[in-house]
Structure 1
Amino acid sequence: MKQQSLKFLHVSTLLAFILIPLGGLTTDIYIPSLPSMAQGLGVSMRSVQVTLLLFMISSGISQLFIGSILDSFGRYRINVAALITFSIASFVIATIPNIQVIYAMRIVQGITVSLIIVGKRAFFVDMYRGEQLKHYTSLFSIVWATAPIVAPFIGGYLETHFGWRSNFYLLGSLTALVLFFELRYTGETLQTSRAFKRADIAEVYRMMLGTRDFTLGLLIIGFSYSLLVVYGMVSPFIIEKKYGLSPLVSGYSSLASGIALMSGGIISKILINKPLLFKIVPATVILLLLVAGMVLTTAYTENIWILVGFTLPLHVISGFVFNNVYAYCLQRFTQSAGTASGLTGGGIYVISSVVGYGLINLFNIRSAHSFAYINLIIALLMAAAVAVFVNVKKVKQ
């Protein structure tokens, strides 16, 4: 097995950071194309939204179990196989415009993305310790936020000039390029493998999920990410269908959303040494106030500026809370880095996709006002999780 060389550690670290946003890139790049994709495939709006849901559910569920596989069999060979499969699936979606085939390939992409990003998050725990590890994990959500910043802007441009299929051609080409550098510069980083024994693995999962602050942390980051998921799913239809604006405007709005998310992560990084509760409690209160203001304002008037004007500060707060609690969960069980990484990443996707898609189907979202009510429900759920998390942490102290 090819072993990780310290000589190329910095290159491997850069490649890991490039691949961590792959999940977001795979969803956000074609968000501006959702309306035209539905039209081109001859299916409903809800049918193309399912392509997002299938990816998130398959990625989330597989991440819950993939960590133990990576802790037993290593990272490198699994990562290489996943990159090859993901690239092929992207080209299949682009060349076979059939909704059923796309559904199947999105599930394949969800599973392979899980293998890639869980392994890359575990890479940092494998190779770094102490303050270095804390520094890198605090950068995760900032780096991850590059996808919602860059992807919709690129996707909107590609949609306008080349059509929705070009998004998937680009995904396939980019992962093939990264694969070349992975083969050249990276290797196995797992130092000590765990025997793949189902009883032992089940005990590790029981221990982690039985740790209340960890499971509450998963709920908090899942709810915070739900705010972005819902916006990504419904904003193109509000902006393009209700307001009559172009896919480029959808792309720009998602670009602004991504910048807001990253800004929250950067603020979190600046305040890295402040106590966790000192940061997330005031942030949750501000989130509730913003959502309440959005509900009241959109009851009387709405337009693109009101929609984006409330969404951006909401996503700043979301990114801030996400970054703090995400880093906390990843560092909670360093002795089982792959499993903890998988549970954390999988929990985000499962919770956010179930909450987001469930609320979208429960409410007929065709305006900023109905969208505001969805945000209010998510904010209340998140506030309840934060309140219990605070009590658990105070008892532990």
Structure 2
Amino acid sequence: MRLIKEKNRGIATVLAFALIPLTGLATDVYLPSLPAMAADLHVSSGAIQNTLLVFLVTAGISQLFVGSLLDSFGRFRISIAAMLLFSLASFVIANTHSIYVLFAMRVVHGITVAIIAVGKRAYFLDTFEGEKLRSYTSLFSIVWATAPIVAPFIGGYLQAAFGWHGSFYFLGFFTLAILGLDLVFGGESLKTLSPFKPAAILNTYGSMLKTRDYGMSMIIMGLSYSMLMVYGMTSPFIIEHVYRCSPIITGYSSLLSGVALMTGGIISKSIIHRPLDRKIPVAMGLQTVVAVALLLVSVFYLSNLYTLLPFVMLLNVGAGFIFNNIFSYALGRFHGHGGIVSGLTGGGNFVITSFFSYGIVNTLVIKNQAALAVAYLVFVLLGILSFILFQRYRYRGTARLATGEKAATAAPAVAEAMYTH
């Protein structure tokens, strides 16, 4: 087993961070091309939007299970194979004219991205601990937010220059480049492999899923990410069909949306030591005010790019802030089994995001600014309800420990102490 050389540790960490946004790149880079893809493949806008959902669902479900495989068989070799398959699937998509081949390759994308994402997140759990680990995990959502910033911006220009095929060539060559560097500077981060015992693994999953505050944290993350996903799925059609703007404008608007998301993550990192029960309610309250204001402006005033983007940016600042705080809490909720924790947290978030995104897009049929405002308001209100339940379960678990009762898993107090003093 080839372990990472100590002299390459810094480069390996940079490469791990470089692949964390891959999930977002695989969804956001072709957002400006959605209308063109629908026209070129002779399918409905809904069918093209479903390629996003197929990817998210596959990536989410896969992450739920690949963590145990990575804990038992290592991170490095499996991740290398996944990167190669991801690149090949990207090149196949770039050369297909069949929606069915596109769906099939997006399934491959979902599975391989799950392996890559879980493996790279687990790298940090394998390598660092304490204050260093907390610092790195708080950077996850900030680095992850580079995808919605950079990808649609790049995708808009690729669409204008090469058509929708260019975005998938970009994905393929980007991943191949990281693969080459990883072969030179990377290696295995897990020093001791866990025995592959299905019964014990299922018991670990069961213990985690029975932990209610952890389950509610995944729902809150899913709702926050759904805001970004629903905007990404619907904004190209609103901006290009309703507002009559170009794909490049769609890319710029998504760039601003992503900047807002990253800003929320940066603010979160700057006050990470403050208790969750003080900062999250403030963020959710402000989101409620902004969502209501967007709805009122859309219904009673006017609807254009300049009334849409400022509100979306404010809402995404809140989403990034909430996601970063809750994601750090969820990763710190358990100790040991880094692959399982990484996979279950990331996979659960994707499955929940897919459920809410698909449900909202198909229930509201978002084709204008007012419908998008309603979607945001629904997400915010569901987030408030989820956080109330999260707090109740978290303090109930802490109270059990205080009275000496045995907890099924690591204490909520541990995660709170680790991430939000």
TM-score, scaled relative to structure 1: 0.99
User: Contact 1:125–1:334 (CA<8 Å) still a contact in 2?
Assistant: no
- Mapped partners of 1:191, 1:225: distance in 2: 33
| Aligned match of 1:359 | 360
Deviation at 1:331, TM superposition (A): 1.5
- Mapped partners of 1:276, 1:135: distance in 2: 17
- Mapped partners of 2:394, 2:333: distance in 1: 13
User: Contact 2:55–2:107 (CA<8 Å) still a contact in 1?
Assistant: yes
- Mapped partners of 1:140, 1:172: distance in 2: 23
* AA at the equivalent of 1:356: S
Deviation at 1:363, TM superposition (A): 1.5
Q: How does 1:1-397 map to 2 (within 5 A)?
A: 1-300=1-300, 301-395=302-396, 396=398
Deviation at 1:334, TM superposition (A): 2.5
User: Contact 2:67–2:340 (CA<8 Å) still a contact in 1?
Assistant: yes
Could you list the per-position Cα deviations for residues 128-171 of structure 1 after superposition, in whole angstroms to 9, with x for gaps in the alignment?
A: 01100000000000000000000000000110111000000111
Deviation at 1:287, TM superposition (A): 1.2
Could you list the per-position Cα deviations for residues 247-282 of structure 1 after superposition, in whole angstroms to 9, with x for gaps in the alignment?
A: 011100100000000000000010011112222111
User: Contact 1:4–1:186 (CA<8 Å) still a contact in 2?
Assistant: yes
Secondary structure of the equivalent of 2:336? helix
Could you list the per-position Cα deviations for residues 316-362 of structure 1 after superposition, in whole angstroms to 9, with x for gaps in the alignment?
A: 00000000000111111131111111111111111111111111111
Secondary structure of the equivalent of 1:335? coil
Secondary structure of the equivalent of 2:137? helix
- Mapped partners of 2:338, 2:328: distance in 1: 12
- Mapped partners of 2:328, 2:365: distance in 1: 35
Identity %, equivalent residues: 50
Secondary structure of the equivalent of 1:334? coil
Deviation at 1:93, TM superposition (A): 0.2
Could you list the per-position Cα deviations for residues 197-232 of structure 1 after superposition, in whole angstroms to 9, with x for gaps in the alignment?
A: 111011101111111111111010010000001000
Deviation at 1:194, TM superposition (A): 1.4
Number of residue equivalences: 397
Secondary structure of the equivalent of 2:245? coil
Secondary structure of the equivalent of 2:284? helix
Could you list the per-position Cα deviations for residues 277-318 of structure 1 after superposition, in whole angstroms to 9, with x for gaps in the alignment?
A: 222111111111111111111112211111111100000000
- Mapped partners of 1:40, 1:198: distance in 2: 46
Secondary structure of the equivalent of 1:4? coil
Deviation at 1:98, TM superposition (A): 1.1
Deviation at 1:376, TM superposition (A): 1.2
Secondary structure of the equivalent of 1:299? helix
* AA at the equivalent of 1:249: I
RMSD: 0.9
* AA at the equivalent of 1:255: L
- Mapped partners of 1:163, 1:2: distance in 2: 41
Deviation at 1:394, TM superposition (A): 3.0
Structure 2: runs of 5+ lacking an equivalent: 400-421
Q: Decide which moves more: 24-33 or 378-387.
A: 378-387
Deviation at 1:392, TM superposition (A): 2.3
Secondary structure of the equivalent of 1:314? helix
Could you list the per-position Cα deviations for residues 53-87 of structure 1 after superposition, in whole angstroms to 9, with x for gaps in the alignment?
A: 11000000000111111111110000000000000
User: Contact 1:71–1:193 (CA<8 Å) still a contact in 2?
Assistant: yes
Deviation at 1:393, TM superposition (A): 2.6
User: Contact 2:238–2:367 (CA<8 Å) still a contact in 1?
Assistant: yes
User: Contact 2:11–2:185 (CA<8 Å) still a contact in 1?
Assistant: yes
- Mapped partners of 2:169, 2:149: distance in 1: 20
* AA at the equivalent of 2:80: V
Q: Segments of 4+ in structure 1 off by > 6 A?
A: none
User: Contact 2:216–2:386 (CA<8 Å) still a contact in 1?
Assistant: yes
* AA at the equivalent of 1:352: T
